[in-house]
Amino acid sequence: MTALALPLLPLATALLLVAVHSKPRLLAPLAVSGLIATLALGVWAAAREPAFDSQWSPAIEMQLSVEGFGRVMVVLVPLVATPIVAYAAATETDAAPRLLALMLAFVAAMLLLVSAADFLTLLIAWELVGAMSWALIAHNWRDPANVRSASQAFITTRFGDLGLYLAAGLVYAETGSFAFAGLAGVDRSALDAIAAGILLAAAAKSAQVPFSPWLFSAMAGPTPVSALLHSATLVAAGAYLLIRLSPALEPVDWFLPAVAGTGLATALAGGIVATIQTHAKRILAGSTSAQYGLMFIAVGASSTAAAGAQLVAHAAFKSLLFLSAGVAIHAAGAAEVRAMRLGRAIPLVAALSLAGVLALAAVPPIGGAWTKEQIVSAATESSAWLAIGALAAGFLSALYATRYQLLVWGRDATEEGDAGALGGARRVHHRPGRAEVGSIAVLACITVLLSALWLPGARDVVEEATMGELFGGAAWEFVAATVLIAAAIVLARLMLQRGSLLSLGLSPEFQASAGDWLGMPAAARLLVVGPVLALSRNLAGFDNRVVDAGVRLAAALPAWLSRLFSLRAEWTIDGVVQSVARMTMLSADGSRLTDEAAIDGAVEGSARGIGVMGEASRRLQTGLSHHYYVLLALGTAAVVAALAVSL
């Protein structure tokens, strides 16, 4: 039951937050306490590797199991989420109970995902993660732009979800079970389709090319939401899926090269976008896509251990950077880095952010540098071209990380367009509180503590924790990577001194276009959206002119026939009916006249005769007895006469 309790505990905490929403002081303690309890349970589960089975039907079984890299994830997710939720409780005042409850439910969905041991459970968790992310991005739903951004992110990732549905259906059709273990018994042709579906789902969720632009839409959510999405939850789901299932898909000869190629393209494209961007959160979003591209490279190079190590390091330093970016945005009153340069104004947060920047740039001895070295080693083992691409991506990482730190937290103000800067000091609209700084400090400590990966014996620990393999790197790889990192840092400093670090010497129009994912959204509108809409309009016209014309004709013909038959009925059947009706009326009129002239006349005549006779007989009633004797005698005579006649 421990495996089931992992997602249920944060979910129960979310429901409790809804119940006590009218008591704001209880929200932060309850939310943080629930995540700390979940973290403790995750550590216990990682050590015990519990499992849970629920038989839905004779053919369908729900399976949860904390195993493999899932052991790391059940610890990582609540570990990173705890300071992020604490930050959210301290900074977000708009519908805070709903936001915190959704964040806890989001954590619950992610824990269900990393504990899933079958495709059916995975799909349930996958959909819940997508739904929760939509609700979090659209948290400030009164702004229609936020709702549109949330819908774009949701629809894009949902398109990739179709691949996971395909994979799950094929596994069940081939094996009669949804279990991950069933992949070993799948026919090769079906395994190809399963691999394609899993790659599609993973690429969409982890914002790989061509799905990367949805990350900018996700920036519509509050800063803590961005930190949670980009670190150990939504975007991490795709990389986790590949780490978890790629060993079973290695028999598909094209699968690993396709994963590596996708990752390399994204690492380079995301690096360029992050270097060009001028929006603080979008710089970090571009870097997120690029960093997950490096993880895809590691998976494609058969080193799930290097990918898993990079995922852990990235979760720590990227959440740190997003929270510090939130402080900078609140302090500057704007998200554009041209309005920042806050190093002197908020030096403590600037120093904490530097820890995340060093990890992002892969500067030794930070743990992020060790994980990238392992990715370069795996890429070198796989292909020289892949190694060159990974080194180039590393150079871009160092360049955009340095540029970010100098523009957001730099101390000088030599950049063009910096009107209003006074000796490098900026007007601060909001200063971070203790909870904000404390949350950032916790993540900075985790980032620095990961430097222990450089210690002897760390390789064995990582391989055992991830159930993967690391490749021994050559000395030249470390030297080449270090030289490229140093060159990127020097280049960023030189551009700062020359006043071109913000614009990079590009025109504003080109910078804006290239910074929007190298024009991929515009190309998608031109090559996909536009043609689809045009095709839809043409099909609608064809439907109106041809299909609907036939339907209208089919409807008009019965109406015409109906009118025709109606006329014939009026001429024939209705004519007979009307003739019968006229004859009936004539007969009725004749009957009425006969009745009035004959029958009523006879009745009325009889009545008049009886009246006359009555009047005459009344006159005989004189009251004189001798009149009565005369009448009696006359009557007797009349009777006798009648009898005589009859006889």
Q: What is the pLDDT of residues 342-371, one digit of tens each?
A: 999 999 999 999 999 999 999 999 999 999
The full 3-state SS of 19-87, as one line of letters, equals HCCCCHHHHHHHHHHHHHHHHHHHHHHHHHCCEEEEECCCCCEEEEECCCCHHHHHHHHHHHHHHHHHH
Choose the most confident range, by mean pLDDT, from 113-117, 183-187, 548-552: 113-117
| Total structural domains within the chain | 2
pLDDT of 430 strictly over 50: yes
The full 3-state SS of 617-643, as one line of letters, equals HHHHCCCCHHHHHHHHHHHHHHHHHHH
Residue 517 confidence (pLDDT):
87
CA 458/CA 460 separation, integer angstroms: 5
- Contact between 225 and 279 (Cβ < 8 Å): no
| Residue 578 shares a structural domain with residue 494 | no
| Residue 497 shares a structural domain with residue 587 | no
| Residue 275 shares a structural domain with residue 388 | yes
3-state secondary structure of 116: strand
pLDDT band of 428, cuts 50, 70, 90: confident
| Residue 426 shares a structural domain with residue 316 | yes
Among 449, 482, 515, the domain boundary falls at 515
Choose the most confident range, by mean pLDDT, from 78-82, 605-609, 613-617: 78-82
Q: Is residue 450 part of a domain?
A: yes
CA 291/CA 601 separation, integer angstroms: 117
Q: Which residue has the higher pLDDT, 496 or 543?
A: 496
| Residue 438 shares a structural domain with residue 347 | yes
pLDDT of 100 strictly over 70: yes
CA 31/CA 439 separation, integer angstroms: 14
pLDDT, averaged across the chain: 88
End-to-end CA distance of the chain: 128
Burial class for 49, CB neighbours closer than 10 Å (0-12, 13-18, 19+): middle
Residue 107 confidence (pLDDT):
97
Lowest mean pLDDT among 196-200, 257-261, 280-284, 615-619: 615-619
3-state secondary structure of 336: strand
Q: Name the DSSP class of 279.
A: B
pLDDT band of 423, cuts 50, 70, 90: very low
Residue 15 confidence (pLDDT):
96
Residue 424 confidence (pLDDT):
42
Q: Which two tokens stand for residue 162?
A: 């179709």
Q: How far is CA 28 from CA 34, 431, 572, in A?
A: 10, 20, 87
Residue 38 confidence (pLDDT):
97
CA 325/CA 318 separation, integer angstroms: 10
The full 3-state SS of 519-558, as one line of letters, equals HHHHHHHHHHHHHHHHHHHHHHHHHHHHHHHHHHHHHHHH
Among 515, 542, 557, the domain boundary falls at 515
| Residue 363 shares a structural domain with residue 437 | yes
| Residue 498 shares a structural domain with residue 583 | no
pLDDT band of 286, cuts 50, 70, 90: very high
Quick one: CA torsion of 259, 264, 269, 273, rounded to 10 degrees?
100
Residue 528 confidence (pLDDT):
65
Q: Is residue 478 part of a domain?
A: yes
Residue 135 confidence (pLDDT):
95
Q: Is residue 192 part of a domain?
A: no
Closest CA to 11 of 107, 136, 144: 107
Q: Name the DSSP class of 598.
A: I
Beta strand residue intervals within 156-300, DSSP E: none
Q: Which residue has the higher pLDDT, 614 or 341?
A: 341
Q: Residue 334 belongs to what domain range?
A: 254-515
Prior bond to 365 cis, omega within 30? yes
pLDDT of 375 strictly over 50: yes
3-state helix, strand, coil in the chain (%, to 5): 80, 5, 20
- Single-letter residue type at 23: K
pLDDT of 17 strictly over 50: yes
pLDDT band of 516, cuts 50, 70, 90: confident
Residue 550 confidence (pLDDT):
72
pLDDT band of 445, cuts 50, 70, 90: very high
Handedness of CA 226, 230, 231, 234 (dihedral sign): positive
Q: Is residue 406 part of a domain?
A: yes
pLDDT of 511 strictly over 60: yes
Residue 154 confidence (pLDDT):
92
| Residue 398 shares a structural domain with residue 506 | yes
* CB atoms inside a 10 Å sphere around CB 378: 29
- Mean pLDDT computed over 448-453: 96
| Residue 579 shares a structural domain with residue 510 | no
Q: Which residue has the higher pLDDT, 387 or 562?
A: 387
Q: Is residue 80 part of a domain?
A: no
Residue 439 confidence (pLDDT):
96
- Mean pLDDT computed over 70-99: 94
| Residue 474 shares a structural domain with residue 605 | no
Residue 366 confidence (pLDDT):
95
pLDDT of 419 strictly over 60: no
Residue 254 CA, chain-centre distance (Å), reads 30
Degrees, nearest 5: CA angle 636-637-640: 85
- Mean pLDDT computed over 225-251: 94
Residue 567 confidence (pLDDT):
57
Phi and psi at residue 290, in whole multiples of 5°? -65, -40
- Mean pLDDT computed over 513-523: 83
Q: Is residue 120 part of a domain?
A: no
- Exposed e or buried b for every residue in 112-150, given b needs 16+ CB within 10 A? bbbbbbbbbbbbebbbbbbbbbbbbbbbbeeeeebbebb
Q: Name the DSSP class of 596.
A: I
pTM (predicted TM-score): 0.82
Rg (CA), the chain: 45
| Residue 382 shares a structural domain with residue 491 | yes
| Residue 299 shares a structural domain with residue 401 | yes
- Mean pLDDT computed over 22-27: 90
Residue 399 confidence (pLDDT):
97
Q: Which residue has the higher pLDDT, 581 or 304?
A: 304
Residue 576 confidence (pLDDT):
64
pLDDT of 306 strictly over 80: yes
pLDDT band of 415, cuts 50, 70, 90: very low
Q: Is residue 424 part of a domain?
A: yes
pLDDT of 420 strictly over 80: no
CA 348/CA 429 separation, integer angstroms: 17
- Contact between 458 and 291 (Cβ < 8 Å): no
Among 515, 537, 564, the domain boundary falls at 515
pLDDT band of 142, cuts 50, 70, 90: confident
Residue 414 confidence (pLDDT):
45
